Homo-oligomer: A and B are copies of this chain.
Amino acid sequence: MNDALPINPALASRGELTRERILDAAEQIFANKDFSAARLEDVAQAVGIKRASIVYYFSNKQELYDAVEGRLFAAMVEATEQRLNADAPALQQVLTVLDTWLDFMVKRPTAPRLILRDSANTYPNASASVRISGVALSTWESVIRAGQEKGELVDVEPMYLLHLLGAPAIYFAATSQLLGENRNFDPAEPEHLQAFRSMLHRSARAVLQP
């Protein structure tokens, strides 16, 4: 005889739903406040549950933060892989990665701001810093290296190229409302997004072609 209660599928999926709602609220709060100022209480209040209910899903703030980041990078990499065509010319593949990241970050402005906060941090050891973001770096690196091996892309450090071409997309998506009254613009407006994208492509072609 088994004492365990049968799993109630409705409850299981309700649990998953609550977990997602906690992650949604936490993503906003971690993007808006620095890590030290963000409180589990605020997340609970935004979801409309008790703090103790969050702890049932995530045992502490760091664990919740890591889950937010993990979900974010997984979504970004998944969107990239859906659009990537491994048979396309290497330059085209890199432009696809950049376009996907740009679109992703403009549509989800919490993403570039969380990445900016992460980028300012220090970490106790070299592997800790990429524990979560590493999937995105690996995607970038493998597309660049494949193009380099075929002789289609310039033979320089993939990480230089990431700084040169990835950082602009982060800054465009995150900071276009921080430039001051007469300079601010909405990066999601098609006119701005298209104009910026074409400049980013211009830069990418110039730096990537051997």
Contact = CB atoms under 8 A, between A and B. Distances in A.
A1 B206 CA distance: 73
Given A34-B34, A174-B119, A137 B168 contact: no
Q: Most chain-B Cβ atoms within 10 A of its Cβ — which of A113, A119, A181?
A: A119
Interface string A122-142: 110011011000100100010
Contacts of A184: 126
Interface residues of A, number: 59
A163 B159 contact: no
A32 to B, nearest CB: 6
A156 interface: yes
A101 interface: no
A183 B159 contact: yes
Interface of A: 31-37, 113-114, 116-123, 126-127, 129-130, 134, 137, 141, 156-157, 159-168, 170-172, 174-181, 183-185, 195-196, 199-200, 202-203, 205-207
